[in-house]
Amino acid sequence: MTPLLSNHLGGKWQDGSGPGTPLFDPVRGNELVRVDARGLDLTAGFAFARTQGGAALRALTYRERGAMLAAAVKVLQANRDAYYEIATANSGTVKNDSAVDIDGGIFTLGTYAKLGETLGDRRFLLDGDAARLGKEPLFQSQHVLVPTRGVALFINAFNFPAWGLWEKSAPALLSGVPVIVKPATATAWLTQRMVKDVVDAGIFPAGALSVVCGSPAGLLDALQPFDVVSFTGSADTASRIRSHDAVAQRSVRVNIEADSVNSALLLPGEAIDSPAFDLLVREVVREMTVKSGQKCTAIRRIFVPESLYDATAQAVAARLAKTTVGDPRNETVRMGSLVSRAQLVSVREGLTLLKSYADVLYDGANTSMIDIDPAIACCMGPTLLGTRQSETPQLHQTEVFGPVATLLPYRDAKQALNLVRRGEGSLVASLYGSDVSALATAATELADSHGRVHVISPDVAQLHTGHGNVMPQSLHGGPGRAGGGEELGGSRALNFYHRRSAVQASTAVLATLQ
């Protein structure tokens, strides 16, 4: 019988009362495990996390909580091989793609463990300097940041079951806020296993770290005013969360990461034999194929000068033609599958829509597949689209969450920046060029509509971290269509889990806060 994964809620492992939802190998099609959250007492579980987990975490200092994160890192590192096996079986990813998720998550957790050490033996943070409130300096105002006395509910996406867990949990736990994670059902196995390993190691207080798998009814109903919720996924689901009574009436703080039609822009003045041109082509191909394009930060639109449209199409197509697709267990395969049959159908439908507005410059349908049954495996080849009709609205509004990107030419720098902004807010845009002044100008011009601007010039060709790689030191999020949320950014990530208050008192009282 297929194993049923347990939920950890209320400080104990619990099984759902239903038959469970099966999780499949997206390449071989066999059932792997089942998840179920039916019948769980969410209200009691959330209350336990607030009263028990939250109180225990707040009693610790940032340094002590950081030490717990460091201990969790050691547990996760000791079990990496098992995580890779789960990722291959349940997400269909090749080893390098699994590393982006698994090792990226562990690295992020370690980064916040080190931050805890630097914050020291404090239980709250100062926000700026004290401000005089009158003519005499005796009475002043000092803003402080204190951990919110609620839970952090994370509703995560299917594409990063490891990194998505830890990039949210690390700053929450370091802040002293208990975590309840609801992973996407299709790939919940890896999230559940990581939580289980850490919980079983006894690192955190009871109620500090919980996981709910499957689709429990009334998940948001259990939220109270000082809780926070962070969601990664579709704009439609994000809209329903924002309109829920917990948010609309109880003022639960919400962070959203939704659709994002990210861009790569080659600045004017570059030739086809320039280093900047080569850097663009390499990065576009990498972003189209890593995790089969299932990254919220992946490049969806490629902007180049009109004179380089054909050359760019040929260069990208030539590299895509070398991409081997199939069963990730075969060492010659460089791109695995989409995570599920539903995702494959969704990508195909989106691709069909885009094809009605753009030409096919490289057809992924012609890709030969390795060690798979096409009738079962959720594999598809990378597809490059393109059109000289760069102003077509649908090309700037539609995100196909798979190995698909669209090439678009521009006349001049002004039009290029306007076209990038047609995405109405994105997580990231990357710029390629050799003119440092032009790169800096373009970066600041696009900063208002992007959470991150990744600037790649020849001098950092071997040093840059990648268009789509989210580093814990930098902001992850974006305005407008991207959801308006903010995560990571080093210590900035802690702001979401703290409440700001102004303490107005004598200088003698305020001195004790230092």
257 a catalytic residue: yes
Cα angle for residues 291, 364, 96 (degrees, 5° grid): 20
Integer angstrom CA distances of residue 251 from 17, 237, 285, 313: 32, 18, 43, 49
d(CA 173, CA 166): 10
Looking only at the bridges linking them, the beta strands covering 485-488 and 404-410 are unpaired
167, 213, 270, 296: the catalytic one is 296
Burial of 469 (0-12, 13-18, 19+ CB in 10 A): middle
Looking at residue 371, what DSSP letter applies? S
Which residue is listed with tokens 């590192």? Answer: 77
213 a catalytic residue: no
Which tokens hold the place of 83?
């995580």
d(CA 93, CA 100): 10
167, 213, 257, 379: the catalytic one is 257
Q: Are 178 and 57 in contact (CB under 8 A)?
A: yes
One-character DSSP codes across 390-429: TT-THHHH----SSEEEEEEESSHHHHHHHHHTTSSEEEE
Which tokens hold the place of 102?
């698994």
One-character DSSP codes across 177-236: --EEEE--GGGHHHHHHHHHHHHHTT-SPTTSEEE--S--TTTGGG--TT-EEEEES-HH
Name the residues annotated as catalytic.
Answer: 257, 296
